[in-house]
Structure 1
Amino acid sequence: MKSIFSNLFLKRASLVLVSVFSLSLTSCLDKNDDSPEPMPVAYVTLYHGSPDAPDVDILVDNQRLNSQPFKYNNYSNYLNFLTGKRKFKFTPVNAANAYIDTTLTFKEDKLYSIFTVNRLQNIEILVVNDTIITPASGKAGLRLIHLSPDAPAVDVVTTGTTGTSVAADLAFKEHTLFKDLTSGSQTIQVKRAGTNEVLLTLSDVSLTAGKSYSLLLRGFLTPPAGNTNILSGQLVTNY
């Protein structure tokens, strides 16, 4: 048995960065040269969502995935991983100590999104089991994931004559299922749950018919001194 590295960005499950960023990630797969049978894999995407944490390295089974520092708001496409138990470490760049050291279990052909979340002093990972359903004709799919450690529970709605609810009373580390929305340009408001207090307005959110998206609510509602990662939204394309 020997380890190999390969580029594992998958065409059928690509993600698009809102702010342009190119990051090379690789995944370590065991390959048995004596067996022609393909290894069972799961598909995993990674996102740095801790708004006061520094850049990190990501190690899986003690092998580094990233060739560049993994920064806040960076994320990968879906990567394929061997199924079963995989040991994950998130460490300072080029350091041995780990902010997070845990083991995750992946099932064959399943999709997962892994987020680093919370403040650095309480940093942890959030694992979301992804179930992507093709939107209805002329519609786009949208889900919301709450990653802001100091924002309250929120209600999220689209505005205008076709305004609709996307999330209700969604708390930190919670997420919705995908919901079909009218495609095209949308204005989305994030409100304190149960009130009309608008915490964030996202204008010109472009949703393409037939595609599914995650809207990530991230950053600090009240940033600590010297931190500029304010409450904001990041739209990523799941499929």
Structure 2
Amino acid sequence: MKNLVLACLCALAVFTACNSNDDMPTVAVARFQITHASPGTGGLDLGMDGLRINNLPFNYLANTGYLDAYVGQRQFQANVAGTGTTLVDQRIQLAEDHRYTMFVYDTGSRVKGLFVEDVFPAVESGKAHIRFFHFTPDAPAVTIGYVKDGAFTPIFPNRSFETPESGVANQGFTAVDASTYTIEVRRASDDSLVFTRPGVTLTAGKIYTVYAKGLIGSLATPLGAEMVINR
């Protein structure tokens, strides 16, 4: 999917490599990625400042990876693929050499964008860094953590379905010991297990975003957790 976006990238944001003349001024860019976390929405057409940036539908759970984008105020759009139906039309501010993620999430008429800044923490010996977003609209508040040697350790307690405001508050990364874990999502109200994912390796020096995905009882978009490697 990343290559599909890159096919029209110069219409979006211009890679500095698009300009091979050493006498030309350097273009100031930010790093910007998009994740489709809206269950049941189907493919999307993505745009920036009215210009489409993908040439095939951008499907559920897809992630573009970081792309170069011009700095300043930009207008991000997400439409139902092949239609003029706009789901997200959001003004964003990009600063030079900063990294950002736009999540398209929620369902039906409530689909919205969560725009966060990805501030990478300093590397710590033997540590990975992780953050979590709750994008399951029909799920209660949850606690996410890991099981190691039979013991559950909560990392992100009592997280409710994200609003744009809570998402910004939760955009930071938390250090954890680099290891292989069983990740568990538990209902915050009674600590009952909602979802488990064994064999998740968090590598020292790496930075990860984990988000709750899907809908309860859905076969097409089942409840679960998805991981994006930020670095």
Inter-partner Cα distance in structure 2 for 1:35 and 1:104: 31
Q: For residue 139 of structure 1, what is the amino acid of its counterpart?
A: K
Q: Which of 180, 184, 191 is equivalent to 2:186?
A: 191
User: Where does residue 5 of structure 2 map in the other structure?
Assistant: 25
User: Where does residue 136 of structure 1 map in the other structure?
Assistant: 124
1:191-235 Cα shifts (integer Å, max 9, x gaps): 111422111111101111111111121111243xxx521111111
Q: Which of 71, 81, 97 is equivalent to 2:59?
A: 71
How high is the TM-score relative to the length of structure 1?
0.82
Identity %: 27
User: Where does residue 225 of structure 2 map in the other structure?
Assistant: 233
How high is the TM-score relative to the length of structure 2?
0.85
Q: How does 1:50-69 map to 2 (within 5 A)?
A: 50-69=38-57
Inter-partner Cα distance in structure 1 for 2:23 and 2:90: 30
Q: How does 1:115-154 map to 2 (within 5 A)?
A: 115-154=103-142
Give the alignment's Cα RMSD to 1 decimal: 2.2
Q: For residue 164 of structure 1, what is the amino acid of its counterpart?
A: T
Query: Does residue 158 of the first structure (1) align with residue 150 of the second (2)?
Result: no
User: Where does residue 7 of structure 1 map in the other structure?
Assistant: none
Query: Does residue 221 of the first structure (1) align with residue 213 of the second (2)?
Result: no
Unpaired stretches in structure 1, ≥5 consecutive residues: 1-20
Q: CA deviation at 1:184?
A: 2.4
User: Where does residue 101 of structure 1 map in the other structure?
Assistant: 89
User: Where does residue 71 of structure 2 map in the other structure?
Assistant: 83
Inter-partner Cα distance in structure 2 for 1:208 and 1:52: 32
User: Which range is displaced more, 206-215 or 166-175?
Assistant: 166-175
Inter-partner Cα distance in structure 2 for 1:235 and 1:111: 18
Structure 1 pair 196–102 and aligned structure 2 pair: CA distance change class (3 A): closer
Q: CA deviation at 1:186?
A: 0.5
Structure 1 pair 35–83 and aligned structure 2 pair: CA distance change class (3 A): farther
- Aligned to 1:54, the other structure's residue is in SS state coil
1:62-107 Cα shifts (integer Å, max 9, x gaps): 2111122100000111111111111222112232332222221212
Q: Which of 182, 188, 206 is equivalent to 2:177?
A: 182
Query: Does residue 212 of the first structure (1) align with residue 207 of the second (2)?
Result: yes
Q: Conserved in 2, the CA contact under 8 Å of 1:29 and 1:81?
A: yes
Q: Which structure's residues are more often helix, by fraction?
A: 2
Structure 1 pair 127–29 and aligned structure 2 pair: CA distance change class (3 A): closer
Structure 1 pair 180–135 and aligned structure 2 pair: CA distance change class (3 A): farther
Q: For residue 29 of structure 1, what is the amino acid of its counterpart?
A: A
Q: CA deviation at 1:143?
A: 1.1
Q: Which of 167, 175, 199 is equivalent to 2:156?
A: 167
